[in-house]
Amino acid sequence: MLYYRCYALWKTFFQKLGMETVVSAPTDREIMERGTALAIDEACLSLKVYLGHVAALVGRCDYILAPRVSNFGRQRAMCTRFESTPDLVRNVFRDSRQKFLSYEVDAEQKKGEEDAFLEMGKELGCTAKEAKRAYKAAKKAELVQHKARVQKQEQLCRREGMKILIAAHSYVAEDPYMGKTVTDYLKKAGIIPLRADLVDRDAALKRSRELSSTCKWEISREILGGIALRRETVDGIILLSAFPCGPDAMVNELIARRVKDVPLLNLVLDSQSGTAGVETRLESFIDIIRFKEGKL
């Protein structure tokens, strides 16, 4: 689930250690159905899709990376699903001979990301010096990638035309079987789609306090900050979630109560959503914005 956020970090780290990375194919119906069959009914759609991707990788590589990312400090927690994934995949795929690789980030327990990567490098048989060098290069690649994506968003912000901000976790917004259908629809309708999570992360964490001073989830806080940073630039905001997402259920309600100056659409995707229903809701939302702006 952290793929869209950490891909440059992971790929560079393993490349620098002389290892090849294998990535599963983009999500399709088969991946989603495989994941759904492996997950419990109560799991969110993102976790089902994740399990489908793990299943697609089983037997294709020496290790499958399943990190445990708990938090980056106080009030900077990840959803509990991110804590459970290493145990979950080891259990779900216990009958396969697949080996899993993990690292743990839990800043509240003094387990930082750098130490976690050095430990992972050691497990792979690398020296501390090699792992440190690889981590530094990986961190740089991650920052460069994020900065480039933020700059692209800034350019889009300056363009003329109707803009809609998509507030979603990256693995929902960018997944070809989930949020990407929304972005594609907006583009086809001549709308400029922007992303709440593609902003300067430090600035977003600070600005998130304008909407909530108590939200404890890191990614939700980045999204809240992204909304605070962009709300004056956009014509509408889509709150896009995977069913049933605990953090989004709370945070989206909070956004709906506190953001009154911009039209909002709450879109919850599940495995049965289908594109027709989503497109109808997007079409109505765009019409509402156009009507409100006197363009219809």
Binding test (CB under 6 A) with ligand SF4, winner from 18, 26, 73, 246: 246
Give the three-class secondary structure for 82.
helix
Binding test (CB under 6 A) with ligand SF4, winner from 8, 31, 44, 178: 44
Binding test (CB under 6 A) with ligand SF4, winner from 46, 71, 98, 273: 46
Distance CA 225, CA 209 (A): 8
- Site pattern 152..171 for ligand SF4 (x: CB under 6 A): -----------------x--
Query: For the purposes of burial, counting CB atoms within 10 Å of the CB of 150, is it exposed (0-12), middle (13-18) or buried (19 or more)?
Result: middle
* Cβ contacts of 24 within 8 Å, gap of 6 or more: 31, 53, 54, 56, 57
Write out the binding residues for ligand SF4, residues 70-129 only, by CB under 6 A: 79, 81
**Nearest to ligand SF4 of 242, 255 (CB atom):** 242
**Nearest to ligand SF4 of 113, 248 (CB atom):** 248
**Residue 200 structure tokens:** 């300067």
Q: Is 251 in the site for ligand SF4 (CB under 6 A)?
A: no
Residue count at the site for ligand SF4 (CB under 6 A)? 12
What is the DSSP code string of 181-214?
A: HHHHHHHHTT-EEEETTSS-HHHHHHHGGGT-SS
Quick one: CA dihedral 13, 24, 80, 62, positive or negative? negative
Write out the binding residues for ligand SF4, residues 175-234 only, by CB under 6 A: none
Binding test (CB under 6 A) with ligand SF4, winner from 113, 197, 222, 248: 248
Helices 81-92, 45-57: crossing angle, 10 deg rounding? 40
Kind and range of the H or E run holding 111: none
Stretch in the footprint of ligand SF4 (CB under 6 A) among 2-10, 24-32, 39-47, 152-160: 39-47
**Residue 272, Cβ neighbours under 10 Å: how many?**
8
**Nearest to ligand SF4 of 46, 98 (CB atom):** 46
Q: Is 247 in the site for ligand SF4 (CB under 6 A)?
A: yes
Contacts to ligand SF4 by CB under 6 A: 1, 44, 46-47, 79, 81, 169, 242, 245-248
